Amino acid sequence: MDRNELKSLVKLLDDPDQEVFEHIKNKLVSFGPEIITYLEDVWQQSLDVILQERIENIVHKIQFDEVKRELELWILGGAFDLLSGVITINKYQYPDLDEQRIHNQIEDIKRDAWLQLGYDMSPLEKVKVLNHVFFHIHGFSGNTVNHQDPQNSYINLVLESKKGNQISLAIIYSLIAQKLDIPIYGVNLPQHFILAYVDENEAILPGFEAINGVIFYINPFNKGFIFGRKDVDFFLKQLKIEQRDEYYQPCANVEIVKRVLRNLISAYNKLGYLDKVEELEELLQVLESH
């Protein structure tokens, strides 16, 4: 990137001709994230409202393209790291996100749980420890007052406020469990999101019917309530939804991130932020096209 060319292009940003502006905008966007700091400096020094608005527009476009690129790389890399995919979605709204802080907060919860876990504990005992640490010591709970708020879907805010929706709480809970080698994974249930404890070698618990290694389910939105397959049957029957294997088994990380995006699309749609809805649908398309 030529620094003089950058300066010359920025000086033309206040051109009243929309076609000229679009050409300059596309050229600046092509330079990528490395010009954001310079554009922000120009924004601060300017008193021209139109120029500031155009700079904001360009910076947002660069940041959005970067989120899209990171999401594509995550998919192409196999989407093995759920937290990485969730953080990428977070950057849509919070481009200057402190990723290390998120990792540290999750590690803190994991460490508190590790200190209370015993090697000879049963699956139920392990989940009781996780529930105690997650819901009582760290104070996480479902946001029942403002459930549709888009903030419930951003992991950085959920870690700060300790309140989230079904899927954000489930993501954090399962990430902590997996870091502790406890086999708990997300299940993409219609109108809900739950967790499954999966262990092919574990004996079936009294009152629970284990199928395909799932020995019981956990509801993080309800303080880690433990339940069985028959309860899922009843839930689906109430919704008049046909039973399908995918409603009982752990889902792929891509499906979890898709669910986060759909929640955000629904939330912003209700708030009337149609520009955000359009961009989030574009991100969703990235996941659905692979």
Residue 147, pLDDT score = 80
Q: What is the pTM of this model?
A: 0.92
C-alpha closest to that of 249 among 290, 177, 200, 206: 200
Contacts (Cβ under 8 Å, ≥6 apart) of 142 = 163, 164, 165, 166, 169, 220, 221, 222
For the chain, which domains are there? 3-76 (1.25.10), 97-257 (no CATH)
CB crowding 227-239: b at 16 or more within 10 Å, else e: bbbebbeebbeee
The span from the CA of 254 to the CA of 275, in Å, is 24
C-alpha closest to that of 92 among 288, 283, 285, 269: 283
Residue 227, pLDDT score = 94
Pair 83, 53: CB distance under 8 Å: no
Residue 19, pLDDT score = 86
Residue 4, pLDDT score = 80
Pair 265, 153: CB distance under 8 Å: no
Pair 92, 279: CB distance under 8 Å: yes
C-alpha closest to that of 220 among 266, 265, 173: 173
Contacts (Cβ under 8 Å, ≥6 apart) of 280 = 92, 261, 264, 265, 268
Residue 208, pLDDT score = 60
Residue 228, pLDDT score = 92
Residues of the chain with pLDDT under 70: 1, 200-210
Pair 101, 156: CB distance under 8 Å: yes
